[in-house]
Amino acid sequence: MAFGITDLKRGQVFQMDGVPYKVVDYAQKVMGRGGSIVNVKIKSLLDGKVLDRTFKGNEAIEPADVTYQSVQYLYNDGSQYCFMNQDSFEQFEVPADLVGDGSGYLKEGDVVTLQFFDGRAISVDLPKNVPLRVVYTEDVVKGDTTSSVLKDAELETGITIKVPAFVKKDDVVSVDTATGAYRERVR
């Protein structure tokens, strides 16, 4: 069932020329007499390429036949990440390049969402924030409080982020998976 191009929203998935795309940015311009024009920045869910497309306001597009499954992360063997469906216990191997930078936020046992198109995994959707333990951080000089002091902290998954001065080793911090930024100290 097709829908109008003006019904698109950021994050929505649709199909064009047999390829699923996700809307990254959307802007609609209303012309004087000629209707409207829709400028869309879209990302291919198969290869990750980002395209800028312009559509007429009266065009119709097809929704993509994309399914989602909640899965548990099991392990990484270097080139593949293994996930398990929590209901059917079916296991899926996903190429490392599909996980990409998200690998720094994955711990064994974490629950994420796998996105499927035509029976194959095309995307790993991480939660917005993840709690990670600090394994190493430098101490801050006691008198250095003239500005907001940030320091490097290495987390249990191996990534390094900037954290406030009060964060110590073995603290658990919440990290934004979209930006890689410190959000808050959990405990």
Q: Beta-strand (E) ranges in the chain?
A: 3-4, 13-16, 19-30, 36-44, 50-56, 60-63, 66-76, 80-85, 91-95, 111-117, 120-125, 129-137, 150-155, 160-164, 172-176, 182-185
CATH architecture of 67-125: Beta Barrel (2.40)
CATH architecture of 3-63: Roll (2.30)
Summarised one tens digit per residue, pLDDT across range 100-120 is: 888 899 999 999 999 888 888
CA distance 180 to 128: 10
Alpha carbon 61 to chain centroid, angstroms: 24
Summarised one tens digit per residue, pLDDT across range 124-171 is: 889 999 999 999 998 877 666 666 778 899 999 999 999 998 889 999
**Residue in 134, 123, 138 with CA at minimum distance from that of residue 175:** 134
Summarised one tens digit per residue, pLDDT across range 8-60 is: 888 888 998 888 998 888 888 888 777 788 899 998 888 878 999 998 888 88
Chain region(s) in the chain for CATH 2.40.50.140 = 67-125, 129-185
CATH of 129-185, one of 3.40.50.12280, 3.10.129.10, 2.40.50.140, 3.40.109.10: 2.40.50.140
Chain region(s) in the chain for CATH 2.30.30.30 = 3-63
Cα 137-139-142 angle, rounded to 5 deg: 155
| Prediction pTM value | 0.73
Terminal C-alpha separation, the chain: 48
